[in-house]
Amino acid sequence: MFQNTKQILPTLCYHFIKGVYFISSQCVVVPVFITLHLLLWPLKFLQPSTYWAIDVHLFKAVMGVVSSWFYTDGVVIQESGDSLEKILDDEALLMCNHQSTADIGIIMQSLHPKGMAAGHMTWIMDHVFKLTHFGWICGQHGDFFLKQPCKTESERQEQIKNFRTHLQEVYTKTQKKWMVLFPEGGFLSSRKPGSQRFAKKNGWPVFENVALPRLGIAQTIMDELTQQKADSNMNENPGQLKWIIDMTIAYPGGKAPNALALIFSTWKYPPIHVHYRVFDINKIPSDSTSFTKWMYERYGEKDTFLNEYYQTGTFMSKFPKTVHTDKRGAFAHFVFFVICMYLSSSFVYSPVLSLIGVEVVALIIACYMVYFVYNFVQYFIHSWPSSNE
């Protein structure tokens, strides 16, 4: 019993310290990011280039803090495949397989040390996240919230129209370079049954480790941001894509933890593998039929790669490179947010609270929580797989 106590106490202390850091960092980062954007709001119209240049550094700082939740627990990422070093400053679409909420953290931890690409990103995510604290940040940053599943063709066309407008009015005008997209449209566990039924019905390959990608958003990107769409030389058109980066995340044993389980896993988690393949946009077919075939082929290769990894423990390369973790940079980002939080509390939050009162703020928060819960319930009701998916 004494031995068990000696083992349990360090674990409890670890989880307590990690929990304090995890919660406190969110309580600091989210309000500071939003407050700074609100204070800089006039620049958005007077000097938009300056406003979005500041946003790039702030968003990279946020990714640094989020990344630190994972590697402070010993989460190690090993990567293989094509190097991204020479294309970090180019416009690119990063497509990744989707297995759990941990995927977002893995992408952030992988890309945060790779220069300013992390700050220049546009994330394309499910609309339900718009109501979360991370969604508040993404809304200020200019990301796109994807409503799914679309129950009718008119809903689908309306969403594609909204996304096309977003590309033209936000992505190309806010110094963004990379887009992050999960083409499967949801976690593998929820998409796999419907994907396999669709594949069998339409004569497409049936995958076990990935789902067939949904191509509405990806096709719109190809239509709007490739050389075929450009009216002149690509270099003279802001936002024109130069690369597609096919990113595959492989979890040990094929068991993908959720983000919280990975963050709070005790001591070291087995290395997580990431593989990159880079494709020149000019060598990718852009018409709908050919692009669909090209995408399905890529996901067929993903399925093969993952199957090999799960069976042999070797993924594409016997000598993967361990991703460098920028601990100093993440710590500096956290300190920056703490200082800004102190200044904001003294000169922004306290004066506002004294004017409108704590009771009003509490009522606003209560109303928002009701709205938040209602929307999440509606999301799960409408996203529940139907029998004819």
Bond from prior residue into 149 cis (ω within 30 degrees of 0): yes
pLDDT band at 2 (very low <50, low <70, confident <90, very high): very low
Strand partners, 124: 144
Rounded CA separation 90/73 (Å): 32
pLDDT of residue 269: 79
pLDDT of residue 373: 74
Q: At 370, is the secondary structure helix, strand, or coil?
A: helix
Rounded CA separation 276/33 (Å): 31
Q: Is the pLDDT of residue 345 over 80?
A: yes
pLDDT of residue 381: 58
pLDDT band at 77 (very low <50, low <70, confident <90, very high): very high
Rounded CA separation 93/61 (Å): 21
Strand partners, 125: 145
pLDDT: which is higher, 152 or 80:
80
Q: What is the mean pLDDT of the chain?
A: 86
Q: Is the pLDDT of residue 220 over 90?
A: yes
Q: At 79, is the secondary structure helix, strand, or coil?
A: strand
Residue 163, CA atoms < 13 Å, CB-side half-sphere:
29
Residue 356's Cβ-count burial label (10 Å; 0-12, 13-18, 19+) is: exposed
pLDDT: which is higher, 382 or 289:
289
Residue 190's Cβ-count burial label (10 Å; 0-12, 13-18, 19+) is: middle
The helix (H) or strand (E) run that includes residue 272 is strand 272-280
Residue 13's Cβ-count burial label (10 Å; 0-12, 13-18, 19+) is: exposed
Rounded CA separation 213/183 (Å): 5
Residue among 129, 21, 95 nearest 275 (CA): 95
Provide, rounded to the nearest whole percent, the portion of the chain with pLDDT above 70: 87
pLDDT: which is higher, 267 or 154:
154
Cβ-proximal residues to 265 (8 Å cutoff; 6+ apart), any chain = 73, 75, 257
pLDDT of residue 106: 94
Per-residue pLDDT averaged across 291-315, rounded? 91
H runs (alpha helix) in the chain? 2-39, 41-46, 48-71, 102-111, 133-141, 153-169, 188-202, 216-224, 259-263, 288-312, 327-344, 350-356, 358-383
Residue 12's Cβ-count burial label (10 Å; 0-12, 13-18, 19+) is: exposed
Rounded CA separation 170/176 (Å): 8
Rounded CA separation 235/254 (Å): 41
The answer, as to whether pTM is greater than 0.85, is yes
Residue among 207, 225, 211 nearest 92 (CA): 225
pLDDT band at 74 (very low <50, low <70, confident <90, very high): confident
Per-residue pLDDT averaged across 232-250, rounded? 77
The helix (H) or strand (E) run that includes residue 275 is strand 272-280
pLDDT of residue 379: 60
